Structure 1
Amino acid sequence: MSLSYCKLPNRAVLKIEGEDRLDFLQGLISNDINKVTATDGIYAAFLTPQGKFLCDFFIAQENDALLLDIDAEAMPAFKKKLMMYKLRANVAIADVSAQYDVFAAFGDKTTQSGVFADPRLEEAGYRAILPNGQDIENAEPVPFETYELMRIQLGLPDGGRDMTVEKSILLENGFDELHGVDWNKGCYMGQELTARTKYRALIRKRLFPVMIEGDLPAPGTEITSGDKVVGEIHSGIQNMALATLKLDALDDELSANGAKLTPKKPDWMILPESA
C-alpha cells in the first residue's frame, strides 16, 4: 500500500506560546498535555463547566510552541474562550491558519518531521500541521472525499459536524476508546460529568457509522424506528454516514427520510453487554 494524503480544508491552526502554555492548557482540556512531544500529538476536547462538548482538536509540538488543529468554524469562539481564561498566565495565543496547512495521511508509514500518528486509531494513519507550501513527502494526493469516506467508515467523529455544541457528551462519541480523555490527569473543565458518565455507566446512545440504502439524508435528519425518534444523521458521503443512535434501538428497523439505515459497529467501540 502506498502513502496517500489530502489537505483538510475545514481546519484552522492556533499557536500557543509562552512558558505557562502547558499548565494553562492542562486545566482546560480533556487529555494530558504532557503527552505531547516532538513526535507525538494528542486528541482532546474543550468542554463547558457542565461537561458538555464545545470543540475538539489535535495538539502537536513545534519547537517551544503548541499547534492546535481545530475546526475552522469553531476556532474563533475557542480562541475567545482561551483569551478569557488566560488571566495572568504567560501565554501568547495566535490564529496562524494563514501560515499552515493541515493534512491527513494514510497507508504506508512515514517518519517525516511534523507528521504524527493519528492518536485516535492506528487505522486512521497520520495528521500533519505543516508550513504553507510543504506537503507530505513520498505520498500521492487524493481527494478530500477519499479521506472523508475512510473516516466515516472507521466511525471517527469530526466534532464540528458530528457533535452538538453544549449538548454532546464525550463518551457518547467515542472519546474514551479513541484516546481523547486521560483518566489520571488533574482536574479540567467539565471533568466531573465526564467521570460520572464513565463510572456510573450512564451512556444511552453512541455515534455509529451507518450504511444507507436510498438517498443520503441531510445532516440533522431524524432517525426513526416505527413512530419513535431514535437518533440523528450527521456527516455523510456516498452510502455512509455517522449517526447518533440510542443503544436500545440498534436491532430495530431504522430509517431517515425514506432511506433504510444499518448500523455498523467499529471494531474499536466498546458497548455495554445489554446493547
Structure 2
Amino acid sequence: MPAEIATDRKLFDLTGKDCLHFLQGLTTNDMRPLDGADGIVWAALLSPQGKYLADFFVVRSGGRLFLDIAAGLAEATVRRLSMYKLRADVQISESALSVVRGLEPPPAGALPDPRHPALGWRGYGLPGGAPVIDWDAIRVTHLIPESGIELIPDDSYILEHGFERLHGVDFRKGCYVGQEVTARMKHKTELRKGLARVRIAGEAPVGAEITADGKPAGTLFTRAGGFALAHLRFDRAEGEMRAGDATLHLAE
C-alpha cells in the first residue's frame, strides 16, 4: 500500500527548552518518553470541565519536535496553547513538512501510530502520494474515533471514546487541565455511555439520532459497509435500534 500525504492534517514545529514540560502540564498523556528520544505520543487537550477540545500527536523525529493535528482543529488549538504558555520558552510555528502515513512496510524514519497497529505508521517530510487508504473502514473495524466526527469539541469525554484503550491517557503522570474529571470518571463511576461498533442496514446520515423503543439511545457516526461507529447509552443498546431509515444492532 503506497504512502499518502495526509491532506487533512497540519504540522507545527515546537521549539524552545520548555516544550515538553509545558505539554506535560496541559495534556492527557505522558510526554517524558520524548525527552531525548525519537517517538510519538497521542494526547488530548481538555477543558477545565474535562471535555475534549482537541487531540494530536506530539512527535520527536530527527532531533525535531512536532505537533501533528487535524487541520480543522489547528488554528483554535494553537491559539489556546499560546494563551497557556505565558513566559514559558515555547514557540509554535507551522512546518513546511507534510504529514505522511501508510500501512506496512514502514520506510526509514517512520514511527508506528501509537493508537493501534492497524493504523500503520506516520512520517514527516517523507515522500507520499494522494490519499488512497480507506481509513474509515480501519477505524470502524477497530473502534477508533476521529477528530471532528466522533470526537466533538466541548462535548465529548475521552474515556467514553476509548482513549485509555488507545493509549491516549496516562493516569499516573500527574495533573493536567481536566485531569480531576477524567480521574473521577475512571475511578469513581461506571461509564454509562461510550463508543460502540454497530451493524447497520438501511440509510442514515452521520449525526443521526439513534433511538431504542422510541427513546433516545445515542448518535450515529462513521459508517463503513454494513458497520458503523455510534456513541450509545449502554442501557438502551441491547436490542434493535433505529436511526433515520436504518436498523442497528450492537456488533459482536
Q: TM-score, normalised by structure 2?
A: 0.92
Pair 1:74 & 2:73 matched: yes
Q: CA deviation at 1:121?
A: 1.4
**2:19 & 2:176 partners in 1: Cα distance?**
15
Deviations 1:27-50 (A, max 9, x none): 011001112364421111000011
Aligned position for 2:116: 121
SS in 2 for 1:158: coil
Deviations 1:169-219 (A, max 9, x none): 11000001110001111211110001000001331111122232112x222
Q: Could you tell me the percent identity over the aligned residues?
A: 35
RMSD: 2.0
Match for residue 218 of structure 2 among 231, 239, 250? 231
In 2, are the aligned partners of 1:42 and 1:60 still within 8 Å (CA)? Answer: yes
Aligned position for 1:18: 16
Aligned position for 2:58: 59
SS in 2 for 1:233: strand
Higher mean C-alpha deviation, range 76-85 or range 31-40:
31-40
**2:2 & 2:196 partners in 1: Cα distance?**
25
Q: CA deviation at 1:4?
A: 4.4
In 2, are the aligned partners of 1:38 and 1:60 still within 8 Å (CA)? Answer: no
Aligned position for 1:105: 102
Runs of 4+ in 1 over 6 A off after TM superposition: none
SS in 2 for 1:41: strand
Counterpart of 1:84, as a letter, is M
Aligned position for 1:218: 205
Counterpart of 2:196, as a letter, is F
Q: CA deviation at 1:250?
A: 2.7
SS in 2 for 1:120: coil
Counterpart of 2:119, as a letter, is A
SS in 1 for 2:43: strand
Q: CA deviation at 1:59?
A: 1.4
Q: TM-score, normalised by structure 1?
A: 0.84
Aligned position for 1:135: 128
In 1, are the aligned partners of 2:2 and 2:128 still within 8 Å (CA)? Answer: no
Q: Map 1:224-263; keep pairs closer than 5 Å.
A: 224-263=211-250
Long gaps (5+) in structure 2: none
